[in-house]
C-alpha cells in the first residue's frame, strides 16, 4: 500500500526520533547527538547513535540504521503499515485510507492457528489420541492443566489437518505460510506436525501464534518440533506461557528451558514460569521479560549444557533492568523432575534461596579450587577479581573484596590492587573488541582507512555518498550537482537509487529529506544512507566540497561496472571470477 509522502512527512515530524527511541533505549546527550546501548546487538559500551538533524539512527557496532519508522518496525517486529499505525496512534493522527494486505494475511494465519489448536484438542480426546493421553498422564499432568494450556494431539496422518483446513476454505499456500503444512517434491502439501503432542503458543492477546510439537516415547524424528517464523510469529521474540505468567500478576518470573518444565511448574502453582521456544535466549526475549517482571529466576537444567546456557542468559540479563537470580538444583536434572521427586515446597525453597548471578559465578569458581593450597588460592582470587571487574557498582565491589579477604585470609588491599588490574585488562579487551566490531562493518571500514590511498572504487563510492548526503541535508545544493552529473554518474547502485529519488522529489517541487526517502528506497539503501549520515554527523559539507567530490567522481579511473562494486574485496573477487571464465 502506498502512503503519500506528505503523510509520512507529517507523521515523522510529529514523532521525533529522540522521543520515540528514548522510550526503549536510555540515551545520553553527546554534543548534537545522543547515544546509548544498541537494542539490536549486545554491547557494553554505546555505539548506537541518534541524529536529530536527519532524524535517523545508526549503530556503529552492527550497522543497524534507519528512520523512526524503521526503528519501530525493528523494535516491535511490526510490518511497515503496522509501524505507521503505531506511530499514528501515539501522536493521535488518523490513518490514511488503507488496504492492508499484510494485516489480512496475519488474520488468516491466526484463524488457521485457532482452528488447528481446536482440531488438535479434539483429536487428543478422540480414539486416535489414546497414546497421547496416556503420555500426558504418565507425565502426571492433570486434566485441568491440559485444558489450561490447550494441549492437543496431531494424529499420525499426512493430510489430517490440511484436509480439515481445506474444508474450512483455506488454501494450500496459506497453510504453508502458517507453517502448518509443507509442500513435498511432488507438489502436494502434507501436515508438518504428525503423531505429536501439541503445545500451542499463545500471545498476550490470546491469539494462538505458533505450535510446539513433542514426540512421544521412542518414535523417530526430532524430540521437539517448533513453528518456524511465520507472518504472526518470530521464534526469537516469543515466550511460552508468557500470557499466563503475565496474568499471575507476580513481579518475578521463572525462566525454564522446556515446555514440560513450565507446565509442571504451573501445575505446582508456580504460574509465573515461562520458557523460550526451542532456541537459546535472545535479547528480544530478555526485553520482553523485563517489560513484565522486576526479577527473573533462571532455572535451567542442572547438566553441563544447562549450566552453560545459564551463564549465557545471565550475560544477556546483566544489561537489562531486571535482577537475576539462579536456581541451583541438586538431585534432579530439571525443574519438572525436581518437583515430582521433592514436591512444591522444596521447589519454593530453592527459589527463595536462589543465588544472585554474582554469587552463582563465585561459588562455581570456588568449587574448582582448594583454597588451603597457596597457589590455588592465588589463582582463585585472580579469577574472582576478573568476575568482580564486571560489576559497575564500586560499593558492591568493595563488599565482595571484604568477603574474599575474610574467606581466604588475604590482605584486602592486595585484593583491591588485583581488582584494579582486572578492570584495566577488561577495558583493554573491550576497546579491542569495539575496534574489531568497527572493522567488520564495511561502511566504517572505509572511513577508518584513508580512502585516498585505496582503490578508486572506494573513492568513487565515497564521493557519491558525500554528494547525496550534502543534497539531503541542504536541498539547495542539488542545483550545483544537477548541472554537472546525471543519475548515470552514480555508479554505486544504492547511491543511484538515492539520487534518482531526490531528483524526482526536487524536480516536482517537493522537499527531499530522509524521512520521505527512507520509504521509497530499498531497505539496504535506506540503511546505508543512515550510516552515511552517521559518519558525517560532525562534518559540514560545503558547496566547495561537493564540487571536489564531483571532480573526484568524474576523474576516478575504474570502469563504471567495476566501480559499481561495493568494496575493494568484491572487485578482487570479481576479477578472479572473470579470469576463471576466460580459461
Ligand atoms: Zn547495534
Instruction: Write the pLDDT tens digit of every residue in 464-482.
Output: 888 999 999 999 999 999 9
**Cα-to-centroid distance, 41 and ligand 1 (Å):** 5
Distance 38 CA to ligand 1 centre (A): 5
Domain end call among 90, 120, 147 = 90
320 and 385 both lie in a single domain? no
Cα(335) to centroid(ligand 1), Å: 35
21 shares its domain with 74? yes
Residue pointed to by grid coordinates 499420525: 156
Task: Clarify whether residues 287 and 321 are in a common domain.
Answer: yes
**pLDDT value of position 432:** 61
CB 453 within 8 A of CB 417: no
CA 128 to ligand 1 center in whole angstroms: 50
101 occurs within a structural domain: no
Does residue 241 share a domain with residue 227? no
Tell me how far apart the alpha carbons of residues 68 and 135 are, in angstroms, rounded to a whole number: 50
Residues 351 and 419 in one domain: no
Protein residues placing their CB within 5 Å of the ion ligand 1:
38, 40-41, 59, 61-62, 64
Distance 46 CA to ligand 1 centre (A): 9
CA proximity to 153, closest of 182, 131, 175, 178: 131
Distance 245 CA to ligand 1 centre (A): 30
Band the pLDDT of 569: cuts 50, 70, 90.
Answer: very low
| Cβ contact 238:277 at 8 Å | yes
CA of 22 to the centre of ligand 1 (A): 15
Query: Where would I find the beta strands (DSSP E) of 348-473?
Result: 355-356
Ligand 1 midpoint to CA 202 (Å): 30
If asked whether residues 85 and 156 sit together in one domain, one would say: no
pLDDT above 90 covers what percent of the chain? 38
100 in any annotated domain: no
Q: Does 244 share its domain with 360?
A: yes
Give per-residue pLDDT as tens, 153-186.
999 999 999 999 999 999 999 999 999 999 998 8
Distance 254 CA to ligand 1 centre (A): 28
Which of 233, 249, 266 is the last residue in one of the domains?
233
**453 and 574: one domain?**
yes
- pTM, full prediction: 0.56
pLDDT score at 434: 57
Does residue 325 sit in helix, strand or coil?
Answer: strand
- What's the structural domain count of the chain? 5
- Phi first, then psi, for residue 178 (nearest 5°) are -90, 0
**C-alpha dihedral, 253 to 258 to 261 to 266, nearest 10°:** 50
Please give the residue range of the domain that contains residue 475: 444-582
Residue 37 sits in a domain of what CATH number?
A: 3.90.580.10
Going by pLDDT thresholds of 50, 70 and 90, the confidence category of residue 296 is: very high
98 in any annotated domain: no
Amino acid at each position: 500500500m502506498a502512503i503519500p509522502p506528505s503523510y509520512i512527512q507529517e507523521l515523522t515530524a510529529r514523532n521525533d526520533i529522540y522521543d520515540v527511541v528514548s522510550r526503549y533505549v536510555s540515551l545520553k546527550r553527546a554534543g548534537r547527538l545522543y547515544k546509548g546501548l544498541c537494542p539490536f546487538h549486545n554491547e557494553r559500551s554505546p555505539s548506537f547513535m541518534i541524529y536529530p538533524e536527519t532524524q535517523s539512527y545508526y549503530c556503529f557496532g552492527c550497522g543497524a540504521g534507519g528512520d523512526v519508522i524503521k526503528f519501530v518496525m525493528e523494535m516491535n517486529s511490526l510490518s511497515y503499515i503496522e509501524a505507521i499505525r503505531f506511530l499514528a496512534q501515539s501522536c493521535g493522527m488518523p490513518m490514511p485510507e488503507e488496504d492492508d494486505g499484510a494485516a489480512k494475511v496475519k488474520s488468516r494465519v491466526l484463524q488457521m492457528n485457532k482452528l488447528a489448536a481446536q482440531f488438535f484438542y479434539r483429536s487428543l480426546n478422540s480414539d486416535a489420541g489414546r497414546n497421547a493421553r496416556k503420555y500426558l498422564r504418565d507425565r502426571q499432568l492433570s486434566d485441568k492443566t491440559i485444558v489450561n494450556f490447550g494441549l492437543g494431539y496431531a494424529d499420525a496422518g499426512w493430510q489430517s489437518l490440511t484436509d480439515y483446513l481445506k474444508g474450512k476454505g483455506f488454501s494450500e499456500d496459506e497453510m504453508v505460510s502458517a507453517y502448518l503444512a509443507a509442500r513435498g517434491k511432488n507438489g502436494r502439501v502434507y501436515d508438518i506436525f504428525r503423531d505429536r503432542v501439541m503445545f500451542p503458543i499463545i500471545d498476550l492477546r490470546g491469539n494462538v501464534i505458533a505450535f510446539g510439537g513433542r514426540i512421544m516415547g521412542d518414535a523417530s524424528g526430532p524430540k521437539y518440533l517448533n513453528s518456524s517464523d511465520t507472518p504472526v510469529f518470530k521464534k526469537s521474540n516469543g515466550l511460552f506461557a508468557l500470557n499466563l505468567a503475565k496474568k499471575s500478576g507476580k513481579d518475578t518470573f521463572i525462566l525454564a528451558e522446556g515446555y514440560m518444565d513450565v507446565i509442571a511448574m504451573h501445575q505446582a502453582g508456580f504460574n509465573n514460569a515461562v520458557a523460550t521456544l526451542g532456541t537459546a535466549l535472545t535479547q528480544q526475549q530478555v526485553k520482553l521479560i523485563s517489560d513484565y517482571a522486576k526479577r527473573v529466576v533462571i532455572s535451567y537444567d542442572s547438566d553441563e549444557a544447562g549450566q552453560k546456557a545459564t551463564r549465557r542468559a545471565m550475560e544477556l540479563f546483566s544489561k537489562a533492568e531486571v535482577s537475576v537470580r539462579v536456581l541451583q538444583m541438586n538431585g534432579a536434572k530439571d525443574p519438572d523432575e525436581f518437583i515430582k521427586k521433592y514436591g512444591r515446597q522444596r521447589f519454593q525453597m530453592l527459589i527463595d534461596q536462589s543465588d544472585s548471578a554474582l554469587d552463582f559465578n563465585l561459588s562455581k569458581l570456588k568449587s574448582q579450587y582448594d583454597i588451603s593450597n597457596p597457589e590455588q588460592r592465588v589463582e582463585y582470587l585472580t579469577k574472582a577479581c576478573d568476575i568482580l571487574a564486571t560489576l559497575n557498582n564500586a560499593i558492591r565491589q568493595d563488599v565482595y573484596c571484604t568477603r574474599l579477604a575474610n574467606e581466604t585470609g588475604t590482605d584486602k588491599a592486595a585484593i583491591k590492587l588485583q581488582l584494579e588490574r582486572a578492570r584495566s585488562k577488561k577495558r583493554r579487551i573491550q576497546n579491542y573488541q569495539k575496534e574489531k566490531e568497527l572493522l567488520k562493518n564495511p561502511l566504517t571500514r572505509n572511513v577508518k582507512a584513508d580512502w585516498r590511498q585505496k582503490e578508486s572504487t572506494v573513492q568513487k563510492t565515497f564521493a557519491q555518498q558525500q554528494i547525496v548526503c550534502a543534497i539531503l541535508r541542504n536541498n539547495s545544493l542539488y542545483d550545483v550537482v544537477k548541472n554537472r552529473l546525471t543519475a548515470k554518474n552514480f555508479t554505486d547502485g544504492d547511491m543511484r537509487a538515492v539520487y534518482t529519488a531526490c531528483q524526482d522529489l526536487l524536480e516536482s517541487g517537493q522537499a527531499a529529506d530522509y524521512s520521505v526517502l527512507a520509504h521509497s528506497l530499498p531497505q539496504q539503501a535506506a540503511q546505508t544512507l543512515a550510516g552515511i549520515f552517521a559518519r558525517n554527523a560532525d562534518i559540514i559539507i560545503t558547496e566547495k566540497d561537493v564540487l571536489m567530490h564531483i571532480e573526484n567522481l568524474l576523474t576516478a579511473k575504474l570502469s563504471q561496472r567495476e566501480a559499481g562494486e561495493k568494496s575493494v574485496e568484491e572487485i578482487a573477487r570479481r576479477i578472479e571470477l572473470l579470469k576463471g571464465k576466460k580459461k
